[in-house]
Amino acid sequence: MKRRLHNLILQYNTMWGENLETDPRGPPDGWEFTTDRSRYREAGAVILHIPTMPRFRWPLKRFGQRWVAWSMECDVNCPRLRNPLFMALFDVKMTYRRSADVWVPYLLADMPETLRTPPKPKEPGCLVTWFGRNVKDRSGRRQYIAELMKHTNVHAYGPCFQNRRMEVDLGRMTKLETIARYKFTIAFENSVSDDYVSEKLFDALIAGSVPVYRGARNVDEFLPGERCMINAVDFAGPRVLAEYLRYLDGNEQAYAEYMAWRDKPLRKSFVEMCEGLRETPLARLCRFLSGGEAL
């Protein structure tokens, strides 16, 4: 039988094709990271991406390893993450939840720097945009946005209600460049759960557009400043929200109030959260497995 290597971490499956370790420097000194499943019995810890594991037949037996439950997917879309009996199988939780052993949010370490980029001038006729790529919808956002579009002009990119196309699509860079042209960007989550604040919100802030958000109840804990977004839950419905967006479009001073935070110091709590993410998720996992605390 192969000798167990306590410093060997195996990633058993990917996050829809993406690996946890993307840093070219590799894991911290003294640790080894692999995706070679033939080394399963050797590994001291095994990372399992829960949303892409088989739903009906669990393929693994434990051979003394520590199992790590990894997911950035909302637990509404992946109910196993909310099942205490299932989650009890795992020694380490590595999710978007603030209570996780190793926190893996959609925040990026360099956001305090990127948010200092001055917003670009907004183009005429570019009021509201939406990048609706994921057709999954457990939050009612499609119905809400369909009604919103009856009351104001929304330029929709992506499969959901698409009425605009990009001539060249180079991925996230093109998305940010497009969002930068608009005063407002719809940032509705496809499901609602505390702590589940995705790139939809952060991309709008980075690009210099005002996010119109609908999602996590505790979203305020993730914001870089005061009055930097519009929360759809504060309005009686899509029609009233549309009226407010049109009001801001016609009132330069009122719209500027949603940009004023950019010229002020960022929230200390936000900066501290980002600073704690300068270590890669793998490095923070290694620290946790070594007995230290991980953000």
Residue 220, pLDDT score: 98
How many separate domains does the chain show?
A: 2
Beta carbons within 8 Å of 45's beta carbon, 6+ residues apart: 8, 9, 10, 65, 66, 67, 68, 92, 285, 289
Shared domain check, 252 and 135: yes
User: In the structure, what pLDDT confidence band is assigned to residue 295 with cuts at 50, 70 and 90?
Assistant: low
Per-residue pLDDT for 21 more than 90? Answer: no
Average pLDDT, the chain: 94
Shared domain check, 225 and 169: yes
Task: Show the domain range for 73.
Answer: 5-105+277-289
- Strand runs labelled E in 195-239: 210-214, 230-231
Distance CA 97, CA 163 (A): 35
Q: What is the pTM of this model?
A: 0.94
**Could you tell me how many residues make up the chain?**
295
Question: How many CB atoms are closer than 10 A to CB 109?
Answer: 14
Shared domain check, 50 and 138: no
Per-residue pLDDT for 234 more than 90? Answer: yes
Distance CA 182, CA 175 (A): 11
Shared domain check, 76 and 159: no
Shared domain check, 50 and 129: no
Residue 3, pLDDT score: 64
Shared domain check, 59 and 188: no
Average pLDDT over residues 244-253: 98
Shared domain check, 259 and 116: yes
Per-residue pLDDT for 2 more than 90? Answer: no
Average pLDDT over residues 169-196: 96
Q: How far is CA 125 from CA 148, 184, 210, 232, 273, in A?
A: 17, 12, 16, 22, 36
Shared domain check, 226 and 151: yes
Beta carbons within 8 Å of 224's beta carbon, 6+ residues apart: 111, 112, 115, 205, 261, 266, 267, 270
The CATH number assigned to the domain holding 133 equals 3.40.50.11660
Tokens of 154: 């929304």
User: In the structure, what pLDDT confidence band is assigned to residue 102 with cuts at 50, 70 and 90?
Assistant: very high
User: In the structure, what pLDDT confidence band is assigned to residue 37 with cuts at 50, 70 and 90?
Assistant: very high
Q: Does residue 294 fall inside a structural domain?
A: no
Distance CA 253, CA 232 (A): 21
Shared domain check, 267 and 127: yes
What's the distance, CA 131 to chain centroid? 14
Shared domain check, 119 and 79: no
Average pLDDT over residues 90-109: 97
User: In the structure, what pLDDT confidence band is assigned to residue 108 with cuts at 50, 70 and 90?
Assistant: very high
Q: Does residue 198 fall inside a structural domain?
A: yes
Average pLDDT over residues 23-36: 92
Share of the chain above pLDDT 90, in %: 87
Shared domain check, 191 and 227: yes
Q: pLDDT (tens digit, 9 = 90+) per residue, 143-153? A: 999 999 999 99
Per-residue pLDDT for 130 more than 80? Answer: yes
Average pLDDT over residues 217-226: 98
